[in-house]
Structure 1
């Protein structure tokens, strides 16, 4: 039997890669933009985080739209919106005009993770969910690696405006391929009948992929202890992720005194290495878990271990050698990437059917966005007040340690209609 699901993996990886290439463009071009428009570190912190405001507000809306209308057209609409907004940033004439394009970009980008989570639940056998989620989330690290180099090169040769036009235009190719070939597995023409039968049989662990009663609403989901554990863990991991995403190039330029091209290289390298390591963790997660352990939240152990790895960022202020610093950033980024990916797989494990995955993943990423929204602003204030990045790294590391504990103790039970938020000590100690 041919494994044509590889095309879905390619779609998932490239979806988030393009999403994050567009995000990192402003981080790499921050210094020339700040110089042109006279932007302070605090103002830049708000500008770097601005797309997260509309991203946060739009996640659940996109999730509900996906559950109602499906991934093909809803995901395409999101890609079109954020790609056009990124191109428009290259034509900005003021601080406020950049702010507006970033807000529009954030609203469009909010579609990607809910859509990716729903595609994974619809297309992947349960035993492949970890590596599929890792592939989806790996794009969020490959994107900054590619974007850091591409935008740095474009800024150096042509100016920052050209960088935004180049990266924003890449979405058009993806959009054409998605609309031409993507369908649900029931109707996809590029898989054979044997593979289709495998997907439909095993995507819900051998159980029917239809809700036994009414689908779970957002209020139903918010009554679950496991959902709250997932949201908090996603938030704490996202804080570290967005500290790196929004401020790493500036840190390398100001604290390590690298030029734009070298800072682009030393930003790209940890991201690129972390993609490979996080994919290995995703594969390991699938190999270690049985179907029964998945349904009982066994993947949380991998989430917690990955959050502990994220906390390596605490060592950054004590590192002088550039290559040791690359190692620290690589390990921390790997931990954050793996934790967030396994969390996406974990909510898929714990939900009763794919009918709730769009809204469930939208809610999950909302938890992440709530802290992602804070990270760039808090870092801007920390840098402005202390003239150092050290405390910013300490905050990210402490949250990562807390996230490991939350994942271990709050994501132990399947998500059901009659779940209620209980004291952590009362949660079942099953697998």
Structure 2
């Protein structure tokens, strides 16, 4: 990766970090919150999943808006709203108000992945997308790691309400940097001409191309949803994200209930698997970029790495039966590495299979929707299972079954490139009006 475009990778990575810090904050602070309001495990399960209710509803509409409004406004507006919702959680007085704050946070956080998917396609050569996308998605590991320690420390020494105020302020600091420095490759005045030409020449995998080609109009949702590969991407993402969200929402409670840890110690031990996952995920993504030829990338052979990650995550079956704390952390680390790295590579696979850059934000939104629908139900199902059985064995078994489905789905359903619905010369006045408006 060249020296300057790494700043774009860093910006979108930190956006996801903040996104996930705010998501896990409630999980880390769950013990004092549940004690203050007398919430049951089932009620906490609903609160943990609350942000996903609006997240999944808003993903596709915001994905459609990216092409019309632009990724800079979508991402900036999103973080402004969700940071406000995070800070205002400090003013809540019970289940309903906390749940409402989570709904607002979820709706605005839906802006990040569709817009940043388009940013990655615009800013990075094809042979760098696997690493950059996984680093970007790696914010979903770094965020919980940082959030677990930061929130635990704030809760321990200042109380849970102060913790949410501080986390909300952090989002606005990032927003200032975003508004100052982000622009498209063609407009970023801090980008050298040589690097700008390299990005444009290589982002579609054809290094011989020296000038941009005419872009096809974005495909309609109806067309995209008729493609088998889209359903493979969605199914795979759903099965991987279920495990990722089970850990994101219930890992602190799991550690506390099975090892009787304090809030601060839970924060430290929650952070360890996420930090290591970030490093391992980057190494695996780098390997996928280096080992695959340009032809292999366009043929979708990154699916083999994704299937391997799903299989690695099957170690979740050992989590309830491992009693030594450090052995447990090793198992949790490998499970998180498989689920989060696989999900990140699945976004890369979506971009690999798409032949029309204008479809990227839509397909990323559709793929993320599938993943987060299962992410939504993961904490709820886990809450009911834990309440019914008094343990986590069956909850982790459900996740393992889905991981097997995900491995099969990526290997069998994502074998065909996704061609544009319309040619670059298509007359926009003849296209369906719902697509033109989008």
Aligned to 1:405: 408
Q: CA deviation at 1:224?
A: 0.7
The Cα shift of 1:353 comes to 2.2
Is residue 2:186 matched to residue 1:186?
yes
Matched with 1:101 is 101
- Residue 34 of structure 1 corresponds to 34
The CA distance in 1 between the partners of 2:176 and 2:131, in whole Å, is 26
CA distance in 1, matches of 2:126, 2:2: 18
**Structure-1 separation of matches of 2:223 and 2:296:** 23
Unaligned runs of 5+ residues in structure 1 are 420-431
2:7 is the alignment partner of 1:3: no
Paired with 2:232 and 2:225, the residues of 1 have a C-alpha distance of: 11
Normalised by the length of structure 2, the TM-score is 0.93
Q: Mean Cα displacement is larger for which, 303-312 or 192-201?
A: 303-312
Q: CA deviation at 1:336?
A: 0.9
The structural deviation recorded for 1:149 is: 0.5
Gaps of 5+ in 2: 423-438
Q: Distance in 2 between matches of 1:3 and 1:390?
A: 47
Distance 2:371 2:213 in 1: 28
Change in Cα spacing, 1:361 to 1:210, as seen in structure 2 (3 Å) is: farther
- Equivalent residue runs for 1:261-280 within 5 Å: 261-280=264-283
Structure 2 counterparts to residues 236-275 of structure 1, below 5 A: 236-275=239-278
Distance 2:141 2:2 in 1: 29
Does residue 358 of structure 2 align to residue 346 of structure 1? no
Distance 1:267 1:415, change over 3 A: same
Question: In the TM superposition, what are the counterparts of 1:222-241 in structure 2 within 5 Å?
Answer: 222-241=225-244
Residues 22-80 of structure 1, C-alpha deviation per residue, up to 9 Å, x if partnerless?
A: 00000001111111111111011011101000000000111111121211111100110
Contact persistence 1:27–1:247 (CA under 8 A): yes
Q: 2:235, 2:409 within 8 Å by CA — same for their partners in 1?
A: yes
Partner secondary structure for residue 413 of structure 1? coil
Q: Does structure 2 conserve the Cα–Cα contact (< 8 Å) formed by 1:220 and 1:417? A: no
Aligned to 1:422: none
Q: Deviations over 1:342-384 (max 9, x none)?
A: 0011101111122111111111100101100110000000011
2:434 match: none
Contact 1:296 1:350 in 2 (8 A): yes
- Partners of 1:74 and 1:418 lie apart in 2 by 25
Q: Is the 8 A contact 1:221 1:417 kept in 2?
A: no
Partners of 1:67 and 1:357 within 8 A in 2: no
CA contact (8 A) 2:219 2:421 kept: no
Are residues 211 and 384 of structure 1, via their aligned partners in 2, closer, same or farther at CA, if it must alter by over 3 Å? Answer: farther
| Contact 1:209–1:354, Cα closer than 8 Å, also in 2 | no
Deviation string 1:308-343 (CA, Å, 9 cap, x unpaired) is 111111111220100000000000100111101100
Report Cα offsets for 1:162-206 as digits up to 9, x if no partner.
Answer: 111111211111101111110010111121000000000011112
TM-score for the superposition, normalised by structure 1: 0.95
**1:141 corresponding residue in structure 2:** 141
C-alpha distance in structure 2 between counterparts of 1:41 and 1:215, whole Å: 44
1:3 Cα offset (Å): 2.3
Matches within 5 A, 1:330-341: 330-341=333-344
Kindly report which structure 2 residues correspond to 1:32-431, keeping only aligned pairs within 5 A, or say none. 32-206=32-206, 213-417=216-420
CA distance in structure 2 between the partners assigned to 1:199 and 1:270 by the alignment: 34
Deviations 1:87-138 (A, max 9, x none): 0101111110001000000001111111111111000000000001111111
* Aligned-partner SS, 1:373: helix
CA contact (8 A) 1:234 1:340 kept: yes
| Separation of aligned partners in 2, 1:3 and 1:347 | 26
CA distance in 1, matches of 2:52, 2:215: 36
Please say if residues 3 and 195 of structure 1, whose CA atoms lie closer than 8 Å, have aligned partners that are also in contact. no
RMSD of aligned residue pairs (Cα, Å): 1.5
| Structure 1 residue 8 displacement after superposition | 0.9
Deviation of 1:215 (Å):
2.2
Q: How far does residue 210 in structure 1 lie from its aligned partner after superposition?
A: 5.8
1:185, 1:196 within 8 Å by CA — same for their partners in 2?
A: yes
